[in-house]
Chain A
Amino acid sequence: MIIKKLKLIIIFTLLCFSSIVIGLTDTNKPIEINALMPAPFADSTERLVEQFNQENKGKIHLTVTRGPRETESVSDMAISSMILGNSPIDILLIDVTWLPKYAATGWISPLDEWVNDEDIKSIISGARQGNSYKNREFRWPLVADIGLLYWRKDLMQEPPKTPDALIKISKKLQNEGLVKYGYVWQGRQYEGLSCVYLEVLKGFGGDWLDNSNQFRLDEKSSIKATNWLRELITSEVSPKAVTNFSEPEALQIFETGDSAFMRNWPYAWAELQKPTSSVKDKVGVTTMVADTNQTPTATLGSWGFSILKNSNNKDAAWKAISYLTSEQAQKELFLKYGYTPTKAKLFNDIEMLEMSPILPELEKALQISEPRPKTPIYAQLSDVLQRELSAVLTGQKDPQKAMISAQVSSENILKSAGELRS
């Protein structure tokens, strides 16, 4: 018995030693870098990553960790790994709203060393936003995302430009029995609701957190915007169930031809062109409605790469990032997966324009895109707004009361944050 055990121990130690020795002597080992991306991005960049590894054989090897599908779960995973300090991840693909939080905690590293003004100019203006914190770049954009209004070309000549027109056209089509619903959007209590609201709010001339760090949620324009969203439900232009809709639910109704309008992100376009869609070739894309003398707004939601502070191979990581976000790579991602590019040049690319008739619309929407408030406590502010909006949409609270209480709670959050900092 004992001899057997001793034998096992000896073999085990020998194995350990030999693997260490092999590890030390192998000087040609490439630099290992690891990137965490949400599952859909990990899948779509698979070929590009393979190509990158091929080109840098023996020098750099990039591995992609396939994160969860749902956006916020990726954030949970990243945060858990960063809290522990010694994260195995070098590159993180992050959403636009996470940036201030991660930059403030010092989890991600500024990109000054690698990015110059020339590089920044190569990016389309809308996508230049949301990459910096306190005037330093922390993120390099891979794909732009903007809120769009999808409309049915077979039911109307032109899409509505104002909130009133949207309701009017919807009602007419509903009365004629051509569609069951007028407009589907994201009314569930989650981040999507804040995105929807920002567009409507700006469309009515309001603002959430303005440039001088003042909240403007209790102003007339904000209450008007809230009222309009509520009216969509009470007038039955939107189904009551919209208050539990996220993107898939809205898309599902629009795809079956049950609705005249839908608010969604660019990814929906490709879904609507699939053979299973009953509205294939019947859909147009435009920007969100806005009151008569206001300019329309598209909420900016984009993804980009950041390098973690603790990474030991930042140069290699940057090399991988610039490869994955190159014009060639973005073009491939657009043609294959419909990812909106961020490089300005690509919006004039003939091959891409031929492939997709909505590219000019995307460019237009990007020019009017607005990021959500850029502060490390954004998640709290958004949570407060979502709660109050959800209470209004489900008929629990009067719009004015809800917006005043959102204003007060937001101010309190900001105040306690400011007090702690000083």
Chain B
Amino acid sequence: MIFLFAPAALFLILVFVLPLIRYCWISVHALSVITNLEMIPNYGANWIRLYNDQRFWQDSFQTIRFTVTSVSLEILFAIAIALLLDQRWRGRGVVRALTILPWALPTTVMALGWRWIFNTPHGPIEQIISLLGFESINILSNPNIAWIATVIGDVWKTTPFIALILLAGLQSIPNDLYEAFRLEGGSSRQALFNITIPLLKQYLLIGILFRTAQAFGVFDLIQIMTGGGPASSTESLALYAYLNAMRFLDFGYSATIMLGSFILLVFSCLLAWLIFNQIKKIQL
């Protein structure tokens, strides 16, 4: 038995456990340009700094805000899209292929696209607003709403991913169930809430967990769309860790930030899972 799962375990240890241990080790050392990149033990000073670092907590808030908003919107849209693509109609194959397109595009390319779409005053959105006679809203320059633009970019790109998972789920639901339900006089709306959604729950959970973990580590999209600005209002934890490692050459603190955000992520996923289970109990 052990022999059989050894390759998988070895693989996991190599790509997951070892780096994590190394990160923990680095996070209790000073390792930066100031120490000439030598590891000097600093006995938890990084963790104290993290705890007192306002920017870390602000970025945590912003990362969670980004994650919760984009994942919820993605789930809503994905359910709609998956239901539509599950129906039989002409040209469905073509549309299915097209739906995947945003997900297949490299993030860099589409983030640059969004940056130009939201550009003031030359971007199409601002052009439309000014054509309609409204005052320009300067989306990417306004610290109160710039983060919404990054959410839009993320929702546009990753909704197809969840839709794909849900579509697979929908196709696993046998048609007999619906037929029997209809024979008993149930309406389509009732079928949606009594058959489709409950049976999709496992797939929804997979989608939520996948996307939460991904959105929590968002980097490229934000780096390109706003660079974390204006006034750091869109900076995510991953961006902050990257800044510390690659710009400030402070690898000790960067590792601490990454571990800090890892702990937050584990808590968030746990919380999401608990809430999900609660909902499940109520409905059943």
Contact = CB atoms under 8 A, between A and B. Distances in A.
Interface of A: 72, 75-76, 79, 83, 101, 104-106, 187-190, 239-244, 249, 252-253, 376-377, 379-380, 383, 386-387, 390-391, 393-394, 396-397, 417, 420-421
A387 B248 CA distance: 15
Interface in B155-180: none
Interface in B205-261: 226-232, 243, 246-250
Nearest to B227: A190
B127 interface: no
Contacts of B30: 420
A249 B229 contact: no
B188 interface: no
Contacts of A386: 229
Interface stretch (B5-13, B68-76, B86-94, B135-143): B135-143
Interface in B26-78: 30, 33-37
Given A240-B141, A244-B229, 9 more contacts: A189-B230, A243-B141, A243-B230, A244-B138, A244-B230, A380-B247, A380-B250, A390-B232, A394-B143
Contacts of A394: 141-143, 230-231
Majority-rule SS of A interface residues = helix
Nearest to A386: B229
Interface residues on B, range: 20 to 34
A253 B121 CA distance: 9
B196 interface: no
Contacts, number: 97
B107 interface: no
Contacts of A79: 246, 249
B9 to A, nearest CB: 28
Given A72-B247, A189-B227, A376 B138 contact: no
B119 interface: yes
A377 B248 contact: yes
Contacts of B226: 189, 244
27 contacts: A72-B247, A104-B36, A188-B229, A189-B229, A189-B230, A189-B232, A241-B119, A241-B120, A241-B136, A241-B138, A242-B141, A243-B138, A252-B122, A253-B121, A376-B34, A377-B248, A379-B247, A380-B250, A390-B230, A391-B231, A394-B141, A394-B143, A394-B230, A394-B231, A397-B231, A420-B30, A420-B34
